[in-house]
Structure 1
């Protein structure tokens, strides 16, 4: 079985993938002359036994470890500033991000801020801020504990403004991790609802990347393979987890994050406002909106949906078949079908439509999306 040993991929980040890969972390730190890591995670992961085991193992081997976990589930600028204050006050020499997308985004933003001290959003890629990322950054290591965002292999962090709730993208190739320890055993104890939501996030990344309007056949191939892995593994990983299903989901998550350098689309622009305005889990927001966003995209792109249907092994190789599959998958995973079931109220719709239209993801959607389209999609999903 291919999942019973550790493999190495370089794409371009070095990825140590396989059951038990996390055990290599202390030796890696020592080999690179690092002894005082700042470990960034979220409050839930910080309370779990496996996290305590990682930290205690590092301490037992002589490393000085400081943990920062005071972050929101949808991270905001103030989280990054607080984490940087911890770095400043404790003579750290590296950053290890352990967790899902929120923890890894905050960790990456702290890595940026250590030697870039102007207002954090000056570095927003949407306004060309990446050109100001010119200084060196600390040694950065990532350890994913969910199979959703794939942030461990990314080079950007999505951080919201505390007041306006608008999401900003901090981007630079400098922000890529030096190494990823991708250990599926760290995902084994995720509860079913988190496994389902993060898995649908990974599926959304792969599907939207494949449909994005930019030409990037390398990303297309990765996205198609990622969809196939998710089709094989997500239901089992949610309801009957084993090392094989968890391994496939962890791979598919990283593949989605690699693929979406091509772009995302309408579904992410529908989902982001739910997270920033109502604090909805990002994966859940994507999952509920995914069938509606994909249905919106079918007309004019039928050939792309045929390829998606084939990757998913569907009998009906067309866009309608894909939408039916997504709705059925949500049912199987216990994910709601309507926004009203996850806290959205009718009075939210106009504000959500405004935020969605201002979002950065939909300009790469294969077809244009107007504010009126967003409002109609929210009402349909409501």
Structure 2
């Protein structure tokens, strides 16, 4: 990867990738006849210097800019409705999502809500709600600032219910951003914890996509390269970041999101309940559970693990060492390796298992998972 070059990709949507491409945002919006964009972000990003530079440049170029950042770290329906009201009250004409998975999910859900006026969760894909997504959305542009979820190239938004924190999935190909500006420079100021947790999220996406039971060799190949890119760059990107390591992580994050259209698996079903019950950062929840979930999946899929071991640089491509390698990777990154370190207690186990078995990801796991399996894995990860 040449960090001095800028690249165009069209998979699965138009992507402008490279250091400095964010400077092209005003010209792109003008080419689309946009005048009053709504910038959707989160409270942290809204306070960073690069975000101020983006808004200042847009205003300098004559745009009327409104910023919406009133979102929670695990977004809920009321966040989306507040964003919709800001869009309508200001007569906005486009949405630019800038941030990590939270901001980009909220931006996509707000875009859905503008011309679709049923209750937001009527559009839940898990109950067939995608059939109601019939109208065009406003122009949606996404700008990732983390290398984790890959939401910038996604077609879905995960939004929770305000009271129960149950996760709902809003999905339609029409919800994909029309343009992505993926600028590694915007990730350079991320603190080590965020870099590590979001990076492990991206690794989880690629590994689970590779193992998912659906046959999709295109996604499997993308996932394997994503695993390779993360494995050679995540430690440096976290501890001694430079543009090369950050570029590889950002590309691998995009690749993971493309690959997981094949499916995810047990690790995400272990992680989602932690966000629901304890408001745990999604990437951190995946990082902790990844070694345990991979160990569960190993038997019967040894050749898959050998291939992943090769991509990860494990000597002799020894697949049986993958989960041990993941524990060590978490330690190198300064991330916890047990659930007790993030406040999980024995009293939480049964509720977590109930939530996990009801989750929408594990049906694509390469082997079946029962409630007792989830319970045992939580107990194992607690120690």
Q: Does the aligned pair in 1 maintain the 2:307–2:319 contact within 8 Å?
A: no
- TM-score after normalising by structure 2: 0.99
- Deviation string 1:30-67 (CA, Å, 9 cap, x unpaired) is 11100100100000000111101100110111000000
Hey, what does 1:186 align to over in structure 2?
186
Deviation at 1:293, TM superposition (A): 0.3
Q: What is the CA–CA distance in structure 2 between the aligned matches of 1:297 and 1:83, rounded to whole Å?
A: 40
SS at match of 1:4: coil
Structure 2 equivalent of residue 125 of structure 1: 125
Q: Which region of structure 1 is more displaced relative to structure 2, 316-325 or 158-167?
A: 316-325
1:323 Cα deviation after fit: 0.7
Q: Note the alpha carbon deviations across 1:212-266, whole angstroms, 9 max, x for none.
A: 0000000000000000000110000000000000000000000000000000000
SS at match of 1:51: helix
Deviation at 1:320, TM superposition (A): 2.2
**In the TM superposition, what are the counterparts of 1:194-213 in structure 2 within 5 Å?**
194-213=194-213
Q: Which moved more, 1:156-165 or 1:17-26?
A: 156-165
- 1:238 pairs with 2:234: no
How big is the shift at 1:12? 2.6
Q: Distance in 2 between matches of 1:86 and 1:68?
A: 7
8 Å contact kept, 2:12–2:258? no
User: How far, CA to CA, are the matches of 2:241 and 2:290 in structure 1?
Assistant: 24
Alignment correspondent of 1:101: 101
Distance (Å, rounded) in 2 between the aligned partners of 1:142 and 1:188 = 18
Aligned to 1:112: 112
Aligned to 1:170: 170
Q: Which runs of 5+ in 2 are unaligned?
A: none
Deviations 1:80-136 (A, max 9, x none): 011001111010000000000000000000000001111111111111111110011
CA drift at 1:316? 4.6
1:231/1:312 contact within 8 Å kept: yes
Match in the other structure for 2:16: 16
Residue of structure 1 in register with 2:349 after alignment: 349
CA distance in 2, matches of 1:371, 1:59: 53
The CA distance in 1 between the partners of 2:65 and 2:352, in whole Å, is 41
Describe the SS at the equivalent of 2:63: coil
| 1:185-238 superposed Cα distances (whole Å, 9 cap, x missing partner) | 000000001000000000000000000000000000000000000011000000
Alpha-carbon contact 1:22-1:183 (below 8 Å) kept = yes
Aligned partners of 2:43 and 2:70 also within 8 Å: yes
The 2-side partners of 1:4 and 1:373 are apart by 48
State the Cα RMSD in Å. 0.7
**Contact (CA 8 Å) 2:42, 2:102: kept in 1 or not?**
yes
Structure 1 residue 365 corresponds to structure 2 residue 369: no
1:148 and 2:156 aligned: no
TM-score by length of 1: 0.99
User: How many residue pairs get matched?
Assistant: 382
Residues 277-356 of structure 1: matches in 2 within 5 Å? 277-356=277-356
Contact residue 302 and residue 318 of structure 1 kept, 8 A: no
1:87 maps to which residue?
87
Please name the residue that 1:259 is paired with.
259
CA contact (8 A) 1:184 1:250 kept: yes
* 1:135 and 2:135 matched: yes
Is the CA contact 2:212–2:262 (under 8 Å) kept in the aligned structure 1? yes
Dislocated runs of 4+, deviation >6 Å: none
Gapped runs of 5+ residues in structure 1? Answer: none
